[in-house]
Amino acid sequence: MSRLTNIKIGGRSPAVYLPGVEKEAQITPTDLDAILRTHAIEPSHLRTADFDAFFQTRTDALLRLVDVAMGKAAIRGEQTELPEAFEPEPDEHEDDIDLADEAA
């Protein structure tokens, strides 16, 4: 979304501003929905202001893309292991791991 479009919609709900976007861009709701889907956005959730469904559906869609890109399942939910729980790789030295501490 362009900066100008973002300013125009302000803090309004997509259910309110999407018709204005369509009018301004001179496109049909079907065309806008197709564009939104290319960004892993389910238009019906925006049009009904169902933000919980929007976030869950988009999170799931983006995680599926990450799964494909990584060739394995991405971590879902909260990460339970802290970085300190992992062993260094054979070519890593303990001094290399704590560089952030030295910079502080």
The first and second tokens of residue 63, run together, are 């995680």
The dihedral through the CA atoms of 71, 75, 80, 83 has a sign that is positive
Q: Which of 23-32, 48-57, 79-88 has the lowest mean pLDDT?
A: 79-88
Does residue 83 register a pLDDT over 80? Answer: no
| Choice between 87 and 94, residue whose per-residue pLDDT is larger | 87
Is 74:66 a contact under the CB 8 Å cutoff? yes
Is 42:57 a contact under the CB 8 Å cutoff? yes
In this prediction, residue 67 has a pLDDT band, given cuts at 50, 70 and 90, of very high
Residue range 40-59: average pLDDT? Answer: 95
Alpha carbon 24 to its chain centroid, in Å, reads 26
Across the chain, how many H-helices and E-strands are there? 7, 0
Does residue 73 register a pLDDT over 70? Answer: yes
The reported pLDDT for the residue numbered 97 is 52
